[in-house]
Structure 1
Amino acid sequence: MLAGIGALALTACAEEPTPAEPVADNDMEMSTAEMGTETASAVLRDTEGNEVGTVTATGNGEMLMVSVDAMGMPEGMHGAHIHTTGDCSASDFTSAGGHWNPTDVNHGTQSEEPNPHAGDLPNIEIGADGTGTLEGTSTGTFSGLMDADGSAFVIHANPDDYESQPSGDAGDRIACGVFSAS
């Protein structure tokens, strides 16, 4: 009887499908471009060249999700914008150009014609410890962000008032980072 049970067990094991060959991890993963999203990042530096944060922009073809992680910044509310040129070489960051506005609409959500341009994002609040985070969306596209002259992310000295044209009266540029595709 035991021999019969052993034969049954061997038969049952033989009928089970054999596992497929293991697939290398890189064969199973899709790139963000294949999934319809692309990512760019920027290291933020202050006017002294110190690293003061990072920014990540993730696009799906219709909009961008922007995430900022700041450190070593002055306490308070600060305007945060995507700027039109990927260049932070000027000591005051004016080389980054104006706010990214590919559709030529008004700045701010509280302007006469509230059509915020692609560079508009909420203010970032920096705490007493010099850190702050921001999550926001942009109406811009990844291909626009990474066009021929690129784009930069800028944090300003003052908060954006969401209505003054063309840039929200946010004051001096105190941090800047150039986006690069990741």
Structure 2
Amino acid sequence: MSFRLERSSGAKCYMLSASALTIIWGDTPRYWKWVSLPDSRFPEVAKLVDVCWLEIRGRIQSKMLSPRTTYAAYLIFKLADRSRGLGHPPHETSVTVGAQSSTRAIRLQPRGADRHARMMVNFPGGAPEVEEEEVGGLAREDGWLEAEMGEFYNEDGEDGEVEMSWMEVKGGHWKKGLIVEGIEIRPKTLPI
């Protein structure tokens, strides 16, 4: 885990490394590799080899964060040259603390970017309810990409655990090429 203070507000920011996350089959070399990258702040990152069930989870205590602050959680990642299966169906993300829950649908690749993107998927009971859908990630100054997973308000820091998840488990097709540095929790900046 890494820690810093946001310059403008002094609010606490944390980055959970990939090794601090729960990655389903993350310890199975057939599905995930742990590699070193020179531009990562951590000794190892997780590189997706091939899975059909993608599930990444992280947790942090709300008392570690600044009180009376709106936070967002961001997946920090890269896509390998031959990545595939990361565009359809959209990945479901959620951030939950106490009674608050924020969900999103995110495509890390544009629809149609690979042959798997043309698969038709039926969600039991209809498509998941989400706040919004976005494609890809935003470029960061450190060379990585980020995708917002959801947001929450940290009232007094006494709400317990902040739970974050990134999943694609309904499509049933194979995905590869996602490189995960971690999940960053930082104050949500409002658009100007």
TM-score range, shorter chain: 0.3 to 0.5
Greater share of helix residues, 1 or 2?
1
More strand, by proportion: 2
Relative to the length of structure 2, the TM-score reads 0.36
Q: Which has the larger radius of gyration?
A: 1
* Larger RCO: 1 or 2 (CA < 8 Å, sep 6+): 2
